Amino acid sequence: MSLPSSQRYRSQGRREGVDDAVLNNALAAMRRIRAVDPRITPVLTLRHLSHLIDVPFLHLREIVARRARRPYKFFYLKKRIPGRSRMRMISAPNATLLKIQRWIVENILQYTTAHEASYAFHPGSRPFDAAQEHCGCEWLLKIDLEDFFHSISEGRIAAVFAHLGFSKLLSFELARLVTVGCERPGTRTDPAIRWPAIPYYQSKHEGMVPQGAPTSPMLSNLVMFKTDEILARLADAHGMKYTRYADDLAFSCGPGKNEIHVRRFMRLVLDQLNHAGFRPNHRKTAIRGPGSRRIVLGMLVDSDRPRLTREYKDMIRLHLHYLTSPSYGPALHALARKTSVSGIFHHVRGLIAWSQIVEPDFGAGALTRFEGVDWPPVQPDPYDEEANDT
């Protein structure tokens, strides 16, 4: 979206009877947003946003006020290693809200920058590169953040949008469009004094970042930017390397340090995280030293290059054994795994694709065996009229 010259914008506004003070404020807001990044689409008000994304203004206002009907569908997944809760709440936005959030990603958030220690949720980031940073380490400290997305409040998201140049009110409204307002353990009541001039916007609970919205990953990186900066400086001061992949934090050091040093450093990190409002999952916090396996994001980092774990390789070998077995094959293997042939095809192919990145030689051999599997022909969907016509 090209920003018109101030002269043309003011001239057009005057022809339409807009007051000079309003025009000057609008131009100042546009310049403030473009100063952060000229690619960000300037948005002045909620009504302006409704025009840009072609969603009725009153419906946007209902969402902001937490009065829209079923903006999210909720479902729960069991956590592999539970923290304070055993279930993970997934919030899937409805079609309209998904359209709004995708517009925010494509026109605002994609032009923001994460801290260099973050290796997730931005273009070009890969878990392999995060693991590479810790290769050859002698000591490894791993810390996992509990309920990462849900610990980020709408107030912190509003601060992110304000930092990008948007007005205070619009930043709050944008924050409401990308958060979910529902009761959960630890949720703070939204005080009535926050927006006394807009009673319609009052809500019983302060919103949180939903896991399942397209905006949540990039917003979490922006909220974590200052904390990443502090942890990176802290790590550097203590001879450690720091990387973060979403809620998975890793610190490492080479020879010359001992367990006492790493434990003291861990307490400093935990203090910083608690001060920033994040809760570490102590069940997934671990120190690994000489003689133990040092794993970052599922990859061994005890040599000069990330390696696949033995368990990962064995899992691929097991799949390939059953898929290539004359007495078993894809159909029976899929049945045993309670999935479809198509499902097992994509699952195993995905495992092999990752192995090709981490250990190319192993991945190439696995792919050769996979391509030799006698896959049954894909059956047309009886309800797909276009496919049946062909």
| CA atoms lying within 13 Å on the CB side of residue 325 | 14
Query: Which token pair is 257?
Result: 């340090």
pTM for the model stands at: 0.85
Of 49, 52, 70, residue with least CA distance to 60: 49
383 pLDDT tier (thresholds 50, 70, 90): very low
28 pLDDT tier (thresholds 50, 70, 90): confident
Residue 187 is classified by DSSP as P
Please report the pLDDT score of residue 387 as a whole number: 43
At the second CATH level, the architecture of 127-147+216-300 is 2-Layer Sandwich (3.30)
Please report the pLDDT score of residue 77 as a whole number: 82
82 pLDDT tier (thresholds 50, 70, 90): low
Q: Is the pLDDT of residue 355 over 60?
A: yes
By DSSP bridging, strand 248-253 and strand 286-288 are unpaired
Please report the pLDDT score of residue 225 as a whole number: 96
Of 93, 140, 152, residue with least CA distance to 292: 140
Please report the pLDDT score of residue 214 as a whole number: 96
Query: Which token pair is 37?
Result: 């990044």
The pLDDT tens digits for 265-320 are 999 999 999 999 999 988 889 999 998 999 999 999 999 999 999 999 999 999 99
Which has more confidence, 13 or 369? Answer: 369
Of 370, 364, 354, residue with least CA distance to 307: 354
